[in-house]
Amino acid sequence: MKIFTRFGEFILMLKGMFTKPENWRMYWKELMHQCVELGIGSLGIVSIVSVFIGAVSTLQTAYQFISPIIPRSVIAQIVRDTVILEFAPTITCVVLAGVVGSKISSELGNMRVSEQIDALEIMGINTKAYLVLPKILAALITIPLLVILAMTLGIWGGRFVGEVTGILPHEVFDRGLVEAFVPYNVKFALVKAYTFAFIITAIPAYFGYNVKGGALEIGRASTTAVVSSCIIILLADYVLAAVLL
Amino acid sequence: MISITNIAKGFSDKPVIEGVSAEFETGKCNLIIGASGSGKTVLMKCLVGLITPDAGEIMYDGENFSHMNDEAKKIMRRKIGMLFQGSALFDSKTVEQNIMFPLDMFSHDTRAEKQKRVDMVLDRVNLNGAHKKFPAEISGGMKKRVGIARSIVLNPQYLFCDEPNSGLDPQTSLVIDKLIREITTEYNITTVINTHDMNSVMEIGDRILYMYQGKKEWEGNSKEIIFSKNEKLNSFIFASDFLKDAKDMRMLEVSGKIDEKRNMDQLLNG
């Protein structure tokens, strides 16, 4: 029963976000602030993860290709498709669920426990709209861009490692990249990115916003938020693949 | 004036406050006192709308707060300032930004006018020069003063203070009490204070409401409290021997017999 109560509270939180802002300029400022916090703040980790994922993909795909009949450019095709379809959107968002999710949950949890949310409510501010909505919108703006960046860097990482290790010269890799390219895959990856962006902000925001207690509960909420987000991302990943591919 | 009628609130079928009725007068410091767990914080949260009471009515100068819709409550809350127990300052903002925040959100003044207002309230709470400091860089007493400055920056009609002296030394507590008293009379606002600081009760208690196990047990002012025969109130307020002695002295002082006692003590001690 608890899961239904939580789901109901989650829906009510989302519903509560949509009211007329008290001051558009302040909301815009908060949105931009969140874009910087969530987007620019995650650039480093996304770049590192993507480059290494691409590099490892090239190495492991090449390792499994022992048949001389299959052209080496197929390695590039496989790296491209796995990075675009799975690694860039899903792995990036799972990593971001940890980085961004715990940040959102602990920030809101701390604000709740230290009565900062109450202080905003007393001022007559809709805290769901002012604190939660800009975070979700910022994620919907920045995370798809981060996923595109992750695709690019992942493929570049694969190409770079192929060249450096001599497994795959860059001319062959570049040829493989354009062979049998399906543009729909990029669209599909972006659909995933938008879905995951919502999950990794809305769920931690819910857990943080509804914290009751003290420091211990903030920690617990943060862990629950990250674990729940990761599980829901993986579930959504399966559902989207089953429905859209 | 704020008047409440038969306010009741419970959590998980356990009543926390039951049938509390009272009036909080304008231009006066109205104190809600009581032991921890007596329901005074829940009562204050009901008053400001952070908790919805199960029963009863809350009237703000004739306007029924209990029956207002969310939008009307939001507008009403702009007339309310609140000082929280832990000050509730925004960690990521400087002192100046904390105070500027309500102005940025609700005022249509120019930047210079807002800055003037911030400087004025910071000066009012004796915090000149603290503009650029973050909450983590200032003392507990200073945080309370920033909290007061933030709560009065929009010229509220009602000021709520939840345990304004908790965690402060006696001297700083006196400064905060004095400040709240001055602001209340200066701006003629209705101030409601939750406290269990006996010094505050005696110094600024124009109107005192004593809560006991979720019910109103006693109501009066700081003079009447000394002569009260209510046992529960007396055992709460004058809990230590020191406070009992202080009460006796105050009783003599109020009844004009203090000089008589001093003369007698001088005679006895030679």
Residue B269, pLDDT score? 63
Would you say residue A11 lies in a domain?
Answer: no
Percentage, residues of chain A above pLDDT 70: 100
CA atoms within 13 A on the CB side of A38: 33
* pLDDT band at residue A183 using 50, 70 and 90 as cut-offs: very high
Which pLDDT score, from 0 to 100, does residue B151 have?
92
Tokens of B148: 């007061």
A116 to B50: CB separation less than 8 angstroms, yes or no: no
- CA atoms in the 13 A half-sphere facing the CB of B64: 7
Distances (CA, A) of B221 to A45, A106, A111: 62, 44, 36
> From CA A185, how far away is CA B260, in angstroms rounded?
97
**Cβ distance A176 to A117 under 8 Å?**
no
The yes-or-no verdict on residue A53 having pLDDT over 60 is: yes
DSSP string for A217-239:
HHHHHHHHHHHHHHHHHHHHHHH
C-alpha distance from residue B252 to each of A74, A233, B200, B226, B232 (Å):
100, 73, 20, 10, 22
Residues of chain B contacting A119 with CB distance shorter than 8 Å: 82, 84, 88, 90
Name the residue range of residue A216's domain: 32-244
Number of domains in chain A: 1
Rg (CA), chain A: 21
Residue in chain B lying closest to A16 (CA) = B70
Asked if residue A161 lies in contact with residue A57, where contact means CB atoms within 8 angstroms, the answer is no
Alpha-carbon span A30 to B268, nearest angstrom? 72
Please report residues of B whose CB lies closer than 8 A to that of A22: 74, 105-106
Residue type (1 letter), B164: P
Q: In what order do the strands lie in the sheet with B80-83?
A: B80-83, B158-162, B190-195, B29-34, B207-212, B215-220
CA distance to partner chain B, nearest, from residue A106 (Å): 13
Spatial separation of the C-alpha atoms in residues B138 and A77, rounded to whole Å: 59
Chain B residue with Cα closest to A110: B91
Task: State the sign of the Cα–Cα–Cα–Cα dihedral B88, B94, B95, B99.
Answer: negative
Nearest to A119 by CA among B158, B157, B84: B84
CA-based nearest distance B71→chain A, Å: 9
Q: Across the interface, do B105 and A22 touch by the CB < 8 Å criterion?
A: yes
Residue type, B11: F
Domain presence at residue A6? no
Query: Percent of chain B, pLDDT > 90?
Result: 53
| Cβ atoms of A80 and A180 closer than 8 Å | no
Q: Is residue A17 part of a domain?
A: no
As a three-state string, the secondary structure of A59-77 is HHHHHHCCCCCCCCHHHHH
Please, are residues B159 and B189 in contact by the beta-carbon 8 Å criterion?
Answer: yes
* Cβ-count burial B107-117 (b if 16+ within 10 Å, e if not): eeeeeeebeeb
Q: Would A14 be classed as within a structural domain?
A: no
Q: What is the pLDDT of residue B197?
A: 84
B21-40 pLDDT, tens digit per residue, is 999 999 999 999 998 888 99
**Averaged pLDDT for residues A84-95:** 95
Can you tell me whether residue A141 is helix, strand or coil?
helix
In a domain, A52, yes or no: yes
Give the count of Cβ contacts less than 8 A between chain A and B.
54
- Is B134 an interface residue toward A (CB < 8 Å)? no
The whole-angstrom distance between A10's CA and the closest CA on chain B is 19
**SS3 state at B31:** strand
- Average pLDDT for residues B149-177, to the nearest whole number? 89
Query: Do residues A83 and A117 make contact, with C-beta atoms less than 8 angstroms apart?
Result: no
Handedness of CA B86, B92, B98, B104 (dihedral sign): negative
* Mutation for testing the A interface, residue in B46, B70, B74 having most A CBs under 10 Å: B74
Q: What is the mean pLDDT of residues B142-168?
A: 91
Distance of CA B211 to the CA centre of its chain: 15
CA of A123, closest CA in chain B: separation in Å? 6
Task: Evaluate whether A150 touches A49 at the Cβ level (below 8 Å).
Answer: yes
Report yes or no on A5 lying in a domain. Answer: no
| Residue B70 near residue B19 (C-beta atoms within 8 A) | no
The helix/strand/coil state of B176 is: helix
pLDDT digits (tens, 9 = 90+) for B257-270: 666 556 666 656 65
Beta carbons of A126 and A22 less than 8 angstroms apart: yes
Q: Does B78 touch chain A (CB under 8 A)?
A: yes
Three-state DSSP state, B192: strand
H or E element that contains B161: strand B158-162
Q: What average pLDDT score do residues B43-52 get? A: 92
Instruction: Give me the interface pTM, i.e. the ipTM.
Output: 0.84
Residue A9 included in any domain: no
The answer to whether residues B129 and B169 touch, using CB atoms and an 8 Å cutoff, is no
**pLDDT at A135 > cutoff 70:** yes
The predicted pLDDT at position B260 comes to: 59
Give the CATH class of B2-239: alpha beta
Of A155, A163, A237, the C-alpha closest to A199 is: A237
Answer left, alpha or beta for residue B62, where phi above 0 means left and psi between -120 and 50 means alpha: left
HSE at residue A225, side-chain half, CA atoms within 13 A, is: 34
pLDDT band of B233, cuts 50, 70, 90: confident
Q: Quick one: pLDDT band at residue A106, thresholds 50, 70, 90?
A: very high
Cβ partners under 8 Å of residue B99, min gap 6? B118, B121, B122, B146, B149, B150, B153
Residue B190: strand pairing partners = B158
Task: Using CB atoms, pick whichever of B75, B88, B104 lies closest to residue A116.
Answer: B88
By the 8 A CB rule, do B106 and B138 touch? no
Is pLDDT at B241 greater than 90 in this prediction?
no
Q: Residues B176, B178, B179, CA angle at the centre, nearest 5°?
A: 65
Q: Do B86 and A114 touch (CB under 8 A)?
A: yes
